[in-house]
Structure 1
Amino acid sequence: MTGLPVSVPGVSARVVMQTGCGPYAYIVVDFEPPGPDGASEFLHTVSDDRLPHEFLPAVWDGIREGLGGVAAVAVLTDGGFHEVDSRDQGYRLAGRYAGMAALAAAGLGEPPADRGRQIRVNWPGKPRAGT
């Protein structure tokens, strides 16, 4: 398993599905190269009132999927939720997009495409539309 070669701070992903009842999810993640043991790790600094901790396993599952086997330390630094529309599915999707964005920022993968207003992802060095 390879490891993320550089730090990628401030990757954000927002999922806003307007059909039916959501899902809604918002996360901000800092990615770091793995430690000396080369293992992936998930940490968070987000309080339960910003993002209920019941959603953390879904975020981590999505991040691992998005990283596609590349080891990294992922630190969830912010998040948001909607009392009615937030659910695991949205956080898993946000995590996947955040992981893919970290790979793109590190030069290890293709950038994830925004899906209109439904899924928005930002990362350091993200190309602007039309450039």
Structure 2
Amino acid sequence: MLSDAGRMLAEVHHAESESRRNLVSVDINRQFKDTLTNVSVDGWLFGENLEDRVQAAKALERSSADLKIAKTRSKIKRTYVQKASLNSRGLPLINQESVRQSRPVLQPLYKVEQNRSHYQRN
């Protein structure tokens, strides 16, 4: 019974450590993520010699970059010809009479009196 309780505590501790590692690994750089998540959990979340593993991963990344073929850009000179604008003629002219006839004329809702004698002083 005591050994079963110890196993259960160890299993809970391991599950908690794995979930903490998953939460932390979201913010880790992708090139180091595989290196760090393949390590088993011991006294530390990512193993005891984390610094050595990170330095080894950086060195491996640098050496693999040196081995890759550098992509060269083609040296072909390209000339671009600017075509005439398709809108160079402008918009067609609108017959102003047809525009005036189609527009409704707005009339004021009230008439303004021309004689404003009630505002004048005697």
Query: TM-score, normalised to structure 1's length?
Result: 0.24
Higher helix proportion: 2
Higher strand proportion: 1
Larger radius of gyration: 2
Q: Which has the higher contact order (CA 8 A, sep 6+)?
A: 1
